[in-house]
Chains A and B, each alone.
Chain A
Amino acid sequence: MKTLSRENLNLWLDGLAAQHALIAPHLEAPGVFYRPVQRAQEIAWEAGRPVLSAKEFLFPPSERLLKVEKRGPDVRLEASPSAAPQVIFGLRPCDARGIRVLDTAFVDTPPIDSRYASRRENTLLVGLACRSMGASCFCTAVGLAPDDPRDMDVMFSDRGATLAVQALTPRGEALIANLPLVEELGEVEPASRREVGGLPTAEAWKESYSDARWAKHGERCLSCRLCAYVCPTCRCYDVRDEALPSPPGEAHFERLRAWDSCMREGYRLTAGGHNPRAASGSRLRNRLLCKFVYYPHQYGPAACTGCGRCLDACPVNLDLLEIGGALQEAAQ
């Protein structure tokens, strides 16, 4: 096991922050958020799960895809510049898996999302293992663990005065190449795990399509986008052209994309006014089946990382594990 003293870690992080954008858990008035930090001192070390996942640093809430400047017959298109290097430190395994889920959809499967790809190429993921699972965490139910290093470039495990360090990728090796690591005997103590039940099998999710309970749950749903916006894997967006202030005789526009969610009422509204998902129950069903049926059908493993944010954040306590548990029972 290779370890690094806390002092050297802080020095290293200060150095990283000077060279790259350093993103890390940071305490703001209402809670902990992944935020750009200038110094290691600004990092919230003992914090619980950040309120939002880290997806906003790869898939920002809104961004310009293109700027259009029209001067008479001339039209000039200006692509957005490529991304600057950044390191996300203190990333949780669930949030790293969330980025893996986005990678699969945006980069590994054509067509490649060039804006996302540009950020992803310039981002290093440096994890910090959770010592235990929070009250609403269920990462173990989706095949992860609180100290799962698999989706990281570098993984740290806090051992008090020192931290165990492990590079998982060549980029991670390069990142820690000059660190004064110490070889210590022994292994990293695994995080304490809690097994969480409630998630149905893929088959049970599939069979639930016509289940009357979706309508029942939908009656309670407020159709906000809270669950989707706190979710590390929800990745729907809307694209629109909006006018910009322009000098006389010219017309400037930008092509924007911004987060969107299938939970909102008008998401599936079609030309002509028909809305195939007008009922909130059908929207709720779509969001969950997207995680557990549609995404796996197209890309691979389920698109849920067990972070538990949606369980805590839902204003009316719509609970994925409760909904799923009942569907699983019905399927048996």
Chain B
Amino acid sequence: MSISEAMQSAARDVLASGQVQRVIGYETGPHGRVRPAIIDRPEEAERLVWSADCTHNLTVYLHRALTGENGRASREAVAPPARVAIVVKPCDSRAINVLLAEHQFSREQVFAIGMACEGMRQGAPASAPEATLQARCLRCRERVPVVHDVLLGEPPSALPEALPDEALAHVRDLPPAERAAFWLSQFDRCIRCYACRQACPMCNCPTCLFEQEDALWVGMRIAPSEKRTFHLGRALHLAGRCVGCNECERVCPMGIPIGLLNRHLAETVESLYGHRAGMQPVLSPVTGMLSAEESAP
């Protein structure tokens, strides 16, 4: 049985047995592009696929699937599913831990179909033989999801050496003025389409700070000052929470290296606090820890 078939079978079983009411997985679109698929019936499971093009972090759909907040065009009240199954890679599964720590849903509401992961392909469709792994995957040594209820595929016994983050080292080594100039020129391309925020499982505020109805904090201009505030502010809000799935960077139409900024903060948090987001269901020490003085009654 191929790994796609094993996943279809797992999805079919949990739907048919009533363990879950919905499965969030991957399917192939009409032009060969792999994309998220959300299915509610066992017979739809045959649509699901697993390949090295399943790069999307599907945990972005979990909260809305479990609350029924989104997706219905009719006025009929539809009870949200009590439990949802979701296909996760190791990086995605860490997002579940962060969301659990932040009480977005409970562990019982999620059935995680964990995939042993050997990395996702860069850009080109699966058929391109010369396709290489994404840079983030070349740096990653995680092969088994930290959260899973079933594990599919065989994690490789020998791991290739993880590549160092040369892009990050390069930016960090720039003189401060050049580094600032680099980042500001990247942010200035932003068109505030918010694709990065919408694709991010951690960007789950009911009202985004950068989109308040009043302009006390950030105005609605699509101009350098607002763009810089948005990107720097969002990065800080993700410090210790970002799991490095790189969806923000993947979806950006303007090619802004958002993931680079997130990795800088993730490394900083790890070196200061010894915390890696989502390895356990615990809160980020940056946003959740008070000093002894602050927490004193």
- Give the B-binding residues of A (Cβ under 8 A): 28-31, 51-52, 61-62, 212, 214-216, 218-226, 228-230, 238, 240, 242-243, 256, 258-259, 264, 266, 279-282, 285, 313, 315-317, 319, 322
Docked-complex contact A279 and B72, CB < 8 angstroms: yes
A315 to B253, CA, bound (A): 9
Docked-complex contact B191 and A243, CB < 8 angstroms: no
Q: Is B106 an interface residue (CB 8 A)?
A: no
**Candidates B72, B74, B189, B220; contact of A62 at CB < 8 Å:** B220
Docked-complex contact A242 and B255, CB < 8 angstroms: no
Within 8 A of A (CB), among B234-288: 247, 250-251, 253-256
**Candidates A31, A224, A266; contact of B193 at CB < 8 Å:** A224
Q: Is B222 an interface residue (CB 8 A)?
A: yes
Can you show 6 pairs from A to B with CB atoms below 8 A apart?
A: A30-B255, A52-B253, A221-B71, A259-B191, A281-B71, A313-B253
A226 to B254, CA, bound (A): 10
A243 to B38, CA, bound (A): 44
Docked-complex contact A215 and B221, CB < 8 angstroms: no
Q: Is B199 an interface residue (CB 8 A)?
A: yes
6 closest Cβ contacts across the A-B interface? Answer: A30-B255, A281-B73, A61-B222, A219-B71, A317-B35, A315-B251
Docked-complex contact B253 and A226, CB < 8 angstroms: yes
Docked-complex contact A218 and B222, CB < 8 angstroms: no
Tell me the nearest residue of chain A to B254, going by C-beta.
A30
**Candidates B191, B195, B223, B255; contact of A315 at CB < 8 Å:** B195
Docked-complex contact B38 and A219, CB < 8 angstroms: yes
**Candidates B30, B38, B211, B219; contact of A319 at CB < 8 Å:** B30
Tell me the nearest residue of chain A to B35, going by C-beta.
A317
Within 8 A of A (CB), among B75-115: none
Docked-complex contact A242 and B215, CB < 8 angstroms: yes
**Candidates B73, B193, B253; contact of A279 at CB < 8 Å:** B73
Tell me the nearest residue of chain A to B30, going by C-beta.
A322
Given the known inter-chain contacts A51-B253, A285-B73, A317-B29, please indicate yes or no for A226 contacting B220, CB distance below 8 A: no
With a cutoff of 8 Å between Cβ atoms, the chain B residues found around residue A264 in the complex are 194
Tell me the nearest residue of chain A to B256, going by C-beta.
A30
- Shortest C-beta distance, A194 to chain B (Å), equals 14
Docked-complex contact A224 and B254, CB < 8 angstroms: no
Q: Is B19 an interface residue (CB 8 A)?
A: no
Size category of the binding interface on chain B: 35 or more
With a cutoff of 8 Å between Cβ atoms, the chain A residues found around residue B197 in the complex are 224
Q: Is B134 an interface residue (CB 8 A)?
A: no
Docked-complex contact A230 and B31, CB < 8 angstroms: no
**Candidates A28, A218, A228, A230; contact of B70 at CB < 8 Å:** A218
**Candidates B31, B60, B251; contact of A226 at CB < 8 Å:** B251
Docked-complex contact B71 and A280, CB < 8 angstroms: yes
- Chain B 28-48 per-residue mask, 1 if CB under 8 angstroms from chain A, else 0: 011101111110000000000
- Shortest C-beta distance, B184 to chain A (Å), equals 14
Q: Is B56 an interface residue (CB 8 A)?
A: yes
With a cutoff of 8 Å between Cβ atoms, the chain A residues found around residue B211 in the complex are 266
- Shortest C-beta distance, A220 to chain B (Å), equals 5
Q: Is B198 an interface residue (CB 8 A)?
A: yes
Tell me the nearest residue of chain A to B65, going by C-beta.
A219
**Candidates A28, A225, A240, A279; contact of B220 at CB < 8 Å:** A240
- Shortest C-beta distance, B139 to chain A (Å), equals 21
A47 to B219, CA, bound (A): 35
Q: Is B228 an interface residue (CB 8 A)?
A: no
A280 to B70, CA, bound (A): 6
Docked-complex contact B73 and A218, CB < 8 angstroms: yes
A280 to B34, CA, bound (A): 21
**Candidates B29, B189, B254, B255; contact of A322 at CB < 8 Å:** B29
Docked-complex contact A315 and B199, CB < 8 angstroms: yes
Docked-complex contact A258 and B220, CB < 8 angstroms: yes
**Candidates A31, A215, A224, A313; contact of B73 at CB < 8 Å:** A215
Given the known inter-chain contacts A224-B197, A226-B251, A281-B73, please indicate yes or no for A319 contacting B191, CB distance below 8 A: no
